[in-house]
Amino acid sequence: MKVKFLSSSPQWPWRRQLPDGKSLHGVEFLFGDETDFDWLVIYDGIQVPYSCKVSPARTIIVTGEPPNVKIHAQKFIDQFGVLLTPHNLYKHKGKIVTNTALPWLLDASYGADGVAREFLDIAQLQEKSVPKTKMLSVICSNKTTTPEHRLRLAFVEKLKEHFGDRLDVYGRGFRDMEDKGEAIWPYRYHIALENSVYDHYWTEKLSDTFIARCCPFYAGCKNIFDYFPQNSLMPISMTDPPAAIELIEKALQDDVAANAQEALVGAREKVFEDYNIFAVLAKIVKERGAADSAKQDITILPEATFQKNGFTRIILNGVEKALPGFKAAVKNIITQKLKKRI
């Protein structure tokens, strides 16, 4: 079984989550210009139209953002045979409501262009172990753009006020880090804070914590214990700092992590084996192997097609792909003309 995988972040090192860089559970994933495949998967979206030969029933769209960040156009979603999403707000006969296994961000460093230059693959991550020489950390930026940003920042400031030097705060405006691993691997406990709170929606903020063999205090997904063992994490709420502080203090005093090792190991294995996006997709395509396999020529249109001024954006994206820097040049020309008018 061959699956073509496209995403809104093609520069991301997706292959690192595959044991041999290309296959998992008997399913081969394709990331290049291949044209012969059995299923098409698009993660979040594409910038330009994509034409191929595949059964419409064997096309999958995966939504990666929560509703408070992004709601996909229904007509864009309707192009696919299967919808994989943590949210129930979309109408689709092939909808599967579950977590959509966002990619891990741990142990990957980036260039100025946003492309990952160095990263550990799944085998290296599974084997990695770092001495736990520090106690408690959290990652938070000083962004205040959205209500969620402001809530998170206020919460972390309350924690820092109480714990002082016992809590290390990483992120923009606090302690810099070249790699996210610096903020998690050496620590016994990590406070993982989601930007959104919904059923089924949890992100690499939690999975990275488990991968780094860290015991998490967690604010986020409401039904998180549908995914992980009960004592593998400790739920807290950013809307109730005093209660969170009390729980964290007691956990540190009782050294909860020492008695939770079996659950933490189990949660870590689930991240690698069950909640790896390619494991999720392999399971779906194998379970739906009986789906109509008659191939036909299809074209998947970008979401911008179904939005105001969408066609113009698609043309610009297509030209940008062929001529990198084109959009920046056009923007510069327009800016200069406006300045002359002023």
Q: What is the pLDDT of residues 264-287, one digit of tens each?
A: 999 999 999 999 999 999 999 999
Domain identity same for 143 and 213: yes
Residue 32 domain-assigned (yes or no)? yes
Domain identity same for 19 and 85: yes
Residue 53 has pLDDT above 60, yes or no: yes
Tell me the C-alpha distance between 88 and 196, whole Å.
15
What is the maximum span of the chain, computed from C-alpha positions, in angstroms?
70
Residue 314: its pLDDT value, please? 45
Residue 339: its pLDDT value, please? 41
Domain identity same for 152 and 56: no
- In which band, very low, low, confident or very high, does the pLDDT at 292 lie, cut at 50, 70 and 90? confident
Tens digit of pLDDT for each residue in 201-241?
A: 999 999 999 999 999 999 999 999 999 999 999 999 999 99
Beta strands in the chain (DSSP E): 2-7, 23-24, 27-30, 39-43, 50-54, 59-62, 82-85, 95-97, 108-110, 116-119, 134-139, 167-170, 187-193, 215-219, 234-235, 296-300
Residue 41: its pLDDT value, please? 99
Residue 65 domain-assigned (yes or no)? yes
Residue 341: its pLDDT value, please? 41
Domain identity same for 84 and 133: no
**CA-atom Rg of the chain in angstroms:** 22
Residue 123 has pLDDT above 50, yes or no: yes
Residue 342 has pLDDT above 70, yes or no: no
Q: Domain containing 236 — which CATH number?
A: 3.40.50.11660
Residue 145 domain-assigned (yes or no)? yes
Domain identity same for 141 and 62: no
Lowest average pLDDT, out of 149-153, 180-184, 200-204, 322-326, goes to 322-326
Domain identity same for 163 and 48: no
Residue 321: its pLDDT value, please? 55
Residue 309 has pLDDT above 60, yes or no: no
Mean pLDDT over 75-80 rounds to 97
Domain identity same for 145 and 167: yes
Residue 14 domain-assigned (yes or no)? yes
Is 99 in contact with 86 (CB distance < 8 Å)? yes
Say which residues have a Cβ less than 8 Å from residue 154's Cβ, sequence separation at least 6: none
Q: How many Cα atoms sit within 13 Å of 184 on the Cβ side?
A: 27
Residue 109: its pLDDT value, please? 75
Domain identity same for 75 and 189: no
Domain identity same for 132 and 269: yes
Residue 116: its pLDDT value, please? 65
Is 298 in contact with 54 (CB distance < 8 Å)? yes
Residue 72 domain-assigned (yes or no)? yes
Residue 178: its pLDDT value, please? 84
Domain end position, chosen among 273, 293, 326: 273
Is 217 in contact with 192 (CB distance < 8 Å)? yes
Residue 112 domain-assigned (yes or no)? no
- In which band, very low, low, confident or very high, does the pLDDT at 293 lie, cut at 50, 70 and 90? confident
Q: Which residue has the higher pLDDT, 113 or 226?
A: 226
Count of all residues that appear for the chain in the document: 342
- In which band, very low, low, confident or very high, does the pLDDT at 335 lie, cut at 50, 70 and 90? very low
Residue 319 domain-assigned (yes or no)? no
pTM, rounded to two decimals: 0.87
Identify the domain containing residue 83 by its residue range: 2-101+277-307
Domain end position, chosen among 221, 251, 273: 273
Residue 129 has pLDDT above 60, yes or no: yes
Residue 331: its pLDDT value, please? 53
Residue 100: its pLDDT value, please? 96
Number of separate domains in the chain: 2
Mean pLDDT computed over every residue of the chain: 90
Domain identity same for 207 and 149: yes
Residue 69: its pLDDT value, please? 87
Q: Which of 257, 247, 187 is nearest to 219 (CA)?
A: 247
Domain identity same for 72 and 157: no
Residue 315: its pLDDT value, please? 52
Three-state SS at 230: helix
Tell me the C-alpha distance between 286 and 284, whole Å.
5
Residue 211 domain-assigned (yes or no)? yes
Q: Which residue has the higher pLDDT, 5 or 338?
A: 5
Residue 334: its pLDDT value, please? 43
Domain identity same for 150 and 266: yes
Mean pLDDT over 178-202 rounds to 95
